[in-house]
Amino acid sequence: MGKITGFMEFDRENPPERDPLSRAADFNEYVLPVPDELLCRQSARCMDCGVPFCHAGFITDGNSIGCPLRNLIPEVNDLVYRGNVKAAYARLRVTNPFPEFTGRVCPALCEGSCTLGEHGDPVTVKLIEKFAADEAAKEGFYKSERAPRIGKKAAVIGAGPSGLAAAEYLNRFGADVTVFEKADRPGGLLMYGIPNMKLDKKIVMSRAAELKKEGVEFVFGAEVGVNYPLIDIVRGFDAVVVCIGAGRERRINADGADNDGVVTAMTYLTASTRAVLAKKPSEISAKGKRVIVVGGGDTGTDCVATAVRQGAAGVVQLEIMPPPPDKRPDSTPWPLFPRLFKTDYGHKEAAAVFGADPRRFLTTVKRINGKNGRVVSADVVKVRWEGRNFVEDAKPQTLPADLIITAMGFLGPQTEIINELGLKTDPRGNIAADRFETGVPGIFAAGDARRGPSLVVWAISEGINAAKACLRLFGDK
Ligand SMILES: Cc1cc2nc3c(=O)[nH]c(=O)nc-3n(C[C@H](O)[C@H](O)[C@H](O)COP(=O)(O)OP(=O)(O)OC[C@H]3O[C@@H](n4cnc5c(N)ncnc54)[C@H](O)[C@@H]3O)c2cc1C
Ligand code: SF4
């Protein structure tokens, strides 16, 4: 434990951010590097409380408690406080192969379960994790190593966080791993979903390059079951881990949705990141357009932030649900992770550029209006919830729009591999794989494809656990 009175002496300080107005002019990361002295104060707040739910990592009644990776949080905090960042990073890597990702994009489930959070502000665990990962990259703490081989071949389908984690773990324990990925780059949603200002794509590329150095092979442009024969993979490998994500997007169900200028979030965000990487304007740009983002979740917020950067004339974000509460509700007492109202990076930027928060809660789209096949406006309507159903207000309002981006969630994994292998699915269409085993011998599943749309930290945890299941199979043979 760092400083015995640290939690009484120091208040929580959040990661320093660039000014919302100036950062909205580029796609560089919006969180600034963390100063050493801030880290020292913040890690001193961890009191190694003896009931460290922060690294409990389980789900109860659909709510999570602590870090799904079971990061050794009090130990890491203590090592950072003592200035031994190299050891802190090594400790992080015991449980988390990618702290540079989670330190940037994790919603910090651990902080929702921090004992300090019961009566005040939790320890800034995520900030400390990012600091250790960034220091490791800067100082070269991590040395790629190739483990002795065990003579088993594993294929991983999908190079998102679950696929990368499965590949890393299998390779670490000596399996020969090939990752098949339909896109042209690794990362899955880390690459083409989460925008560059939250996670610089250089970080994803560099981590994948390290895996390659350690022996993991990548085949890009291989959409297994579509342009790459699944049978070759099933016959050519001792085990296959299916990590294909839950990429089927929910479409908007409103008249006029077929007009030009109505796009899904992933179409929009992928085009934007491709353009950022190519240093060219995006094929689907919000420049000079009045934008409506339908969906108030994190994906919708990433669309708001992207549209602001592209020079939108205005952005409105619609959310059908009411705003979450400001304070921990009774339904999620400590140490459960609470869903609280937050003003995210994109909201701050939209407010700085346009003078107002872009969000409208309890509002949905009733109809999309077009002229000559192009969207010109949307009729939106206020709703009121009665139990599980909503009732629309009688009077819609027409909002002008040149671009409507729908960020309404995902329906589950693509079905080609599922159908060809005859994999069982759960009632939501996700691959049914109890203990990560699909029921078809040698075929495992992990990540969003198995648990449904979730989080990077859960995807990493799933990838590791599926790899462990594979290794058990290899051990049995
Ligand atoms: C816009 C957006 C922002 C998000 N922001 C956050 C965030 O800030 N923090 C957070 O924790 N979570 C966030 N999430 C959720 C998080 O990104 C996902 O939960 C996580 O990426 C799931 O990992 P995965 O490996 O299971 O799937 P994915 O990341 O979806 O990766 C699946 C990979 O499989 C590939 N693939 C699919 N089918 C095939 C095939 N047939 N053959 C070969 N390859 C195939 C895909 O191309 C993809 O690369 C966000 C999601 C979105 C959409
Ligand atoms: S991965 Fe997420 S939940 Fe786990 S310690 Fe890091 S920030 Fe917390």
- Residue 9 CA from chain centroid, whole number: 34
DSSP 14: P
Ligand number, closest to the Cα atom of 265: 1
Q: What is the rounded distance in angstroms from the CA atom of residue 1 to the CA atom of residue 106? A: 24
DSSP 437: B
pLDDT of res. 52: 83
Distances (CA, A) of 397 to 207, 322, 363, 400: 48, 18, 10, 10
**Distance (Å) from CA 289 to ligand 2 centroid:** 37
Asked whether 453 and 468 are in contact (CB, 8 A), the reply is no
Specify the residue with its C-alpha closest to ligand 1, atom 35: 158
Is residue 104 in contact with ligand 1, taking CB distance under 6 Å?
Answer: no
Is residue 183 in contact with ligand 1, taking CB distance under 6 Å?
Answer: yes
pLDDT of res. 226: 97
Q: What is the rounded distance in angstroms from the CA atom of residue 31 to the CA atom of residue 42? A: 17
Q: What is the rounded distance in angstroms from the CA atom of residue 64 to the CA atom of residue 364? A: 29
pLDDT of res. 32: 95
Specify the residue with its C-alpha closest to ligand 2, atom 4: 67
CATH superfamily of 6-139: Alpha-helical ferredoxin (1.10.1060.10)
Digits of tens for pLDDT over the chain (477 positions)? 778 899 999 999 998 999 999 999 999 999 999 888 899 899 999 998 887 899 999 898 888 899 999 999 999 999 999 999 999 999 999 999 999 999 999 999 999 999 999 889 999 999 999 999 999 999 999 888 888 999 999 999 999 999 999 999 999 999 999 999 999 999 999 999 999 999 999 999 999 999 999 999 999 999 999 999 999 999 999 999 999 999 999 999 999 999 999 999 999 999 999 999 999 999 999 999 999 999 999 999 999 999 999 999 999 999 999 999 999 999 999 999 999 999 999 999 999 999 999 999 999 999 999 999 999 999 999 999 999 899 998 799 999 999 999 999 999 999 999 999 999 999 999 999 999 999 999 999 999 999 999 999 999 999 999 999 999 999 965
Q: Which residues contact 399 (CB under 8 A, 6 or more apart)?
A: 290, 292, 316, 377, 378, 379, 380
Specify the CATH class of 153-248+411-476 in words.
Answer: alpha beta
Distances (CA, A) of 401 to 268, 321, 423, 448: 16, 22, 42, 32
For domain 251-408, give the fold: FAD/NAD(P)-binding domain (3.50.50)
DSSP percent split of the chain into helix, strand, coil, nearest 5: 35, 20, 45
Residue among 130, 156, 189 to mutate when testing ligand 1 (max atoms within 8 A of CB): 189
Burial 152-173 (b: 16+ CB within 10 A, else e): bebbbbbbbbbbbbbbbbbbbb
Q: What is the rounded distance in angstroms from the CA atom of residue 211 to the CA atom of residue 213? A: 5
Is residue 474 in contact with ligand 1, taking CB distance under 6 Å?
Answer: no
Is residue 67 in contact with ligand 2, taking CB distance under 6 Å?
Answer: yes
Q: Which of 172, 150, 167 is nearest to 242 (CA)?
A: 167
Q: Is the pTM of this model over 0.85?
A: yes
Give start-end residues of each CATH 3.50.50.60 domain in the chain: 153-248+411-476, 251-408
Torsion of CA 42, 48, 52, 56, to 10 degrees: 70
